[in-house]
Amino acid sequence: MNTLRDPVGPESKGVYLRRRLLVLGGLLAVIVFVVLVIVKPGSSGGAASAPEVKVPDEIVAADKVQNDTPKAGETEPCPTGELAVTPLIDRDSYAAGELPMLSLRVENTGAKKCEAQLGTAGMSFTITSGSDQVWRSTDCQINADTRAVILEPGKPLETEPLQWDRTRSSPETCDIARDPVTADGATYHLQVAAAGVPGTGTAPFLLY
């Protein structure tokens, strides 16, 4: 019985051996080529190193600005001596039926940015007439919030206006109808406080 170990036929045994060697050589060449393509010689761990990805300059700049933007809790509290609080009134006199709009301005008078608590929980608006305390925003306040605000030097912030209904207030009058205050040219004064700092002076106005 003929076997592959001892081929017979018109060709000599040497010819068959050379053919086998050529086939084996071709297979080895293919294997070496595949290895060279998949594995880069001299690379760490046998894997081809990934190309470097360059981030556009504008994205880098934007990310740096975002990272540099201070957040609440990351800035030093404003010293009370470097906060200026001022009472504000939208008009200096009001006709019958017109309601005063109250607000305040806060300014950082220091040399660097700082953080102040400027939520409604840390503010108060008080209206007086002579020595008589007529109305106070904290008497019947609900849903007071705390809010940390970063103040830049020399850039004042103003609160949203708060409407006064021209009535007296006290903690005991929150659930009852209140009588209007005296008008007919009476003078009233707005006093404010924010972030633990009392406002400078008062804002006077007349009621008719």
| CATH class for the region spanning 80-207 | mainly beta
Q: Is 37 helix (H, G, I), strand (E, B) or coil?
A: helix
In single-letter form, the type of residue at position 7 comes to P
Q: 84: which DSSP letter?
A: E
Supply 33's token pair: 């080529």
Strand residues in 112-202 grouped as ranges (E): 114-117, 123-129, 132-136, 148-151, 157-158, 162-163, 186-194, 197-198
**pTM more than 0.75:** no
Q: Is 29 helix (H, G, I), strand (E, B) or coil?
A: helix
Q: What is the pLDDT of residues 129-181, one digit of tens each?
A: 999 999 999 999 999 999 999 999 999 999 999 999 999 999 999 999 998 99
In sequence order, the β-bridge partners of residue 73 are none
pLDDT at position 130: 94
Output the furthest CA–CA distance in the chain (Å, rounded): 135
| Range list for CATH 2.60.40.10 in the chain | 80-207
Query: Chain centroid to CA 172: how far?
Result: 39
pLDDT at position 135: 97
> How many other C-beta atoms can be found within 10 angstroms of the C-beta atom of residue 80?
12
Residues of the chain falling short of pLDDT 70: 1-73
